[in-house]
Structure 1
Amino acid sequence: MRIRALVAAAAVALIVPAVAAFATETPSTTTDPSETTSAETTPAESQSAPESGTEPGTETEPGTGAGTQTEPEPQPETQPETQAETEPGAEAEPPAAGVAEEPAAAVVTTVVITVPATTPAGGATFPVTYDVENVEALGANPVANWTITASNGTSPSGPQSAPITLDADGVGTVQATMPTATGTYRITGFVEGESGATDSVTVELGSVDATKPVVTLSRSLTTFYPYPDGYRDTVTAKMTVNETVGYTAKVVTAGGTLVRTLGSSTSFTGTTSYTWNGKNNAGTRVSGTFYVRIEAKDKAGNATTVQISVAASAKKLIWKTYNRTLTAADALNYKYVGSCSTLKAPARSDWAESRGLRSNVRCKAPGDSAKATVYTENVKCLPKSVDGNYRNLTLKHYGGRPKGYTKNVYVVTTVLRPSDWSSRQIRQFGNSVTWKTMASVASPNSLIQSRTSTQYCPALWWTAGLNSSSRYDIWKYSVGIQYRVLA
C-alpha cells in the first residue's frame, strides 16, 4: 500500500498546494530490518477483508499485528478522481520531503485609459491617461503604449505610438496626436512588462472633420461710385456657405489692411448679403481697388478665406449739355407722299439738303387727305447718359414759306413717344422763315427710345407734315439736351 499512498499524495499536492506532501517512512531504531520487511503489505494483502473484530478503517493497536513493531502512519483518503489521473502501472515521482509544490501564478491586470470627452480636432494633441490595476503582476518596468486606427481598420498617417513608463500605482499619461484626415477614429491602449503582454482596451475618439467649409462670394458691381448722387452709390456682396460656420465679413486693401467691417456671426449657414457705401470705419469715403473678404471657420476648426475685388471710383455724375444741328436730309428716316403731292429736294437751291413739302401740286383731291398729305419721319441719335437719364430737351427747325410763294402756309410737327408711337408736343408753324421751337421738355425720358440700351443708341423721333394744298420748306433741325456723365 505504500506505493499507492505515495502516488496519491503526489497527485493531491499538484491539485491542492496548501496540503503538505507526505514524507517517506524512517525505520525505528528498535526494529530489526527484517521485521520491517516482513511487516510490509503487498497490494494483494491491502485488498483482503479486515480481521474479525476490527472495524474497517480502525487503526491496529501497537503489538497486535503479527510481526508489526511500529505504529502504522495514517493514510490519506484516495479520491477516485486522483486515482483515475494516474495511469495504471505508472509510479508518480514523490515530492521532496517537506516541500509543497504551488501552481504558477497567472498575470491578471486591467487596463483603463481615459481620453478627453470632446473629440480632439485634427492635428491636436490630447492626453491619454493610464490606470492599470494589479500592475505589480507585470513585473519590473511596465511600459504603456497606444495605437490609433480608423473605423475601417486602417492606420492614419502620423505618429501612432508613444511608450511611457507607468509609476508604482500603474498610472501614467502620454500625449497623443489626433489624425488630420477626415474620418472616425479609435485608440487602443495596452501595457507590457517583464512578465509579458497584458490586457488592452479600446476607446472611441470620435470623428475628425478635415473638410474646409465652402463659401461662395459675388458682388453686384465691379465698379461703384460712392458719391451720393443716386448712381451706383453702393455695392452689395452676397455670400453663401454650405455648413454652419463662424465668420467675419470685411473690406480690406490689396495688402490686407482693414478698411471696413461689414458684419459677422458666430453660427451661420445659408446666404446673406452686405452692402458697402464706400466709407471706411471712420466714415470717410475712400477710392481705389479693394477686396470684400469672408473669413469663415467651421465647428471642427477648418478655416476658409474667400475674397472678391471691387473698385470704388472717386468720379461722380455731372450733367453735360448736347447740341447738334443737322439738315433735313440727314434727319430723314421715312417719308409719305400722297399721289397729288411731292417732297422737293432741295427745297431751295441755296438750302443744301433741305426738303420742301408740297400738297396737291400734281392734282386736286378735295376730301382725299391721303392723296393731299405729305410728311417726313425724322430721327437723331443722342449721346448715351451713364444712368439713362436726360433733361431739358429742346427741338427746333429752321424753315418757313417757300421762296417766292405768297399764300399763307402751315406745317405741323410732333414728337413721337416710343412706348406707343403716339404724337406728343404737337405744334403748328406758319409763314416766317426762322428757327422755330418744336418741343421744350424738362423731363424727356419718355420721349427717348432705347435710352438704357447697351445695344442701340438713345434716339429722338419726330414728324413734320401738311396737306390741304399747303407748302413749307425745312432746311435744318437743332437738338439740344442734357445727359449725365461721370467725371
Structure 2
Amino acid sequence: MRRLLLATALITGSVTVFAATPAYAAPAAPVLSGLDTSVAGHVTGTVTGGADAQSAWVCWSGCHINTGLTGAGWIPLDPTTHSATFDLPTWGYTDGEVKTVVCATAPTTGSNCAAGDVSPSVSSATLTATDVVPTVTWPTDTTIGHNPDGTDQQASVTVSDSGGGTLLVDWTYSEPETGDNDLTTTVAHDGETQLNLADGVGHLRLFRCNAYNSDPCTHYDLDSAEMTVARQSQVLYFTAPAITAAADPSHAVVPTGKHGTFQASWHVTADGQPVAGSDGSASGTLADDGGAPIEVPGAGLPEAEGLRIEGTISVDDPDFGPSTSSFSGYLVVDREGPAIEGLTVTRPAIHPTAIDALASYRTTTVKVHDATQLDYNDKIAITNASGVQVRLLEPEIDSWTDEHAVWDGRNESGSVVPAGTYTVTSVDTHGNTSALSRTVTVSHASGVLKTFKKTVSVGGSKVDSFVGRCSTLKNPASRGWSGSRGYYANTRCKSTRTNDTVVLTLHGQQLPTAVKYGSFRVDTYGGASRGYRGSQAAISYHRASDGEAVNTRTLGGTLGTHTGASVSPSSLLRGRTVLWSVGTAKFNHYDIKNFTVVARYYAWS
C-alpha cells in the first residue's frame, strides 16, 4: 500500500500584472455628415476629422467600391477644416453604408497609413441606394432552333440605360433543372448584344452589378418570357450509374432538352476500341424533362479503365422537327467492394431507447482500418436482417488508414430501428460492400436507476494497513464494537514525524455489475476516543490509475455517522472494486465502528 499523506500544504504565489502604456495616441474617430443617395448610382457626403487628421479613406458598403482600395488611395483633408467631400458609386446595390477612417499623416499615393496614425473606423446607418431601371427588349421568338440551311438560330437583347456599373444577362434553365446559371453575358448599356443561349428551356434575367466585380447585383424583375432553345447539332454527355453486381443493367438518361419521340443506338469502347457484343439501342417517348432513358447491359463488360459509351440519338420534336445528335460519356463497371483490412464495432449490442444517463450505450462506434490508404469516398452501411439498408453513415477521418462512424440505432429518417441484428459493412460509391462485416444487436431494453447500500465493519473490509513506530492500531477499538478499530497516534513515543505517528487502514468493496455507475460515497461511523475529545481522522478515496489519494475529507470528533464525499466512481474503479483509506496521526485517538458504502448505478430492466 502506498503511504498516503493526510494533509497537503497549498502554497500560493502572487502575480503582478504590468499595464502597457501606449506609445502613441491615434486620431479621434471621424464624423460623417450630409450623406445623400438621391442621385442615382451615387452617395455623396462629407468626412471631418479632428485637428490632427490630414487624410481620409472613404468606401461604400463593405468597401467593395471606394475612392481608392485600402492602402491605395486617400482623400486629402482641408488643412483648415480637416474635412473633405466625397462621391462614391453605388451601382448594383439596393442599400449599404458608408465607412471611413482618418489618418494623422498625408501618405503618398499607394501607401498605407501607419497603424499608429489611423483612427477608429466609423460606419453610417444603412442607406437606400437610388437606381435607374433600364429599358430592355427581349427576343420575340420564344422557340429558337435551327435555320432551313441547318445553321443555328441566334438571339439578341437590346438595352437602353443611363446608369453605370455593369449590366449582365443570365440564362437560367428550368428544364433541365441544373440549379446553375448556365450563361452569364455582359451586355451593352445602350444597344444590341447577341446571346449564345444553351439548349433547354429557361428564361433571361437582367442585372446591374458592381463595376469592379460581379457582386452585389440588382435584379430588376425584367425577366423574359420562357424560351425553348433546341438547335439541330449538339454533343450530349451523360454519366451513367456504375454497373455493379447488384445493378445490371445500368439505367442511364440522355438529357436532350427536347420533347417528342426518340431513337438511340450506341456501343461501348475500351481504350478507344469497340467491346464485342456491347451494341445497344432504345426508342420511345422523351420524359417531361427531355431525358431519353436507356439501359446499358453490364453482362460481358470488363472492369477496365477508359470505358466509354458512344452513340447517336434522333429526336422528332413537335416544335422544331427532327434532329440528330451524338452522345457520349464515361461508363464504370465496378463489382468489387472496399478492400479494407479491419472493421470493428466498439459495442456489439446497443440500446437506443435507453435513458439519457446511458447515452454511451445508445451508440456503437464503427472503426475501419486499411493497411495502405483508405478511399475516403467510402461510407459505412447498416442493413437489417432482410438486407435492406437502413442507414448510410459518413465516416470521420482519423488518419490516412483509419476512420470511424457512430451509429445511434436510428434510420435515415431519425426513427429508432426495430430490435434485431444489423450488419455493418464498408460500402463504396457504387454500392459495393466490403468482404468484412460485423453485426450489431439493437435492444429496446431501457436502463433502470438503482441504489447499492452496504454497511461493512472496519475489520471485514480491511485489505491493508500501515502503523508508524509510535502508534497503535487496536482491535477492537476502545469502545468495544465488534469488528471495529482504534487509531491511536503516539501511544509508544512522542515523535512528531508523520511517518512515525501515522496509523491508517486500506479498505475495499466490490460494487454490483452495472451498465453505468452514477455516484459513490463512503459514510463512516465513529468519533474521537474517550478522553481525546478534540481528535480527528481523515478518509480518502484512491484513484485506480496510480493509487493516489483523492477526495480527502476530515472526520470530526463527534461520535456518529460522517457523510463521505459523493463522487463519480469512474476514476476509482478497479474492475468493479473501489478502495478507500482512513487514519489519523500526531497524538489523535480515533475509534471507527463501520463504513456504509452507497452507490447509485444503472442496470438493464
Smaller-chain TM-score range?
A: 0.3 to 0.5
Q: Which has the larger radius of gyration?
A: 1
* More helix, by proportion: 1
Higher relative CO (CA 8 A, sep ≥ 6), structure 1 or 2? 1
Query: What TM-score do the two structures reach when normalised by structure 1?
Result: 0.46
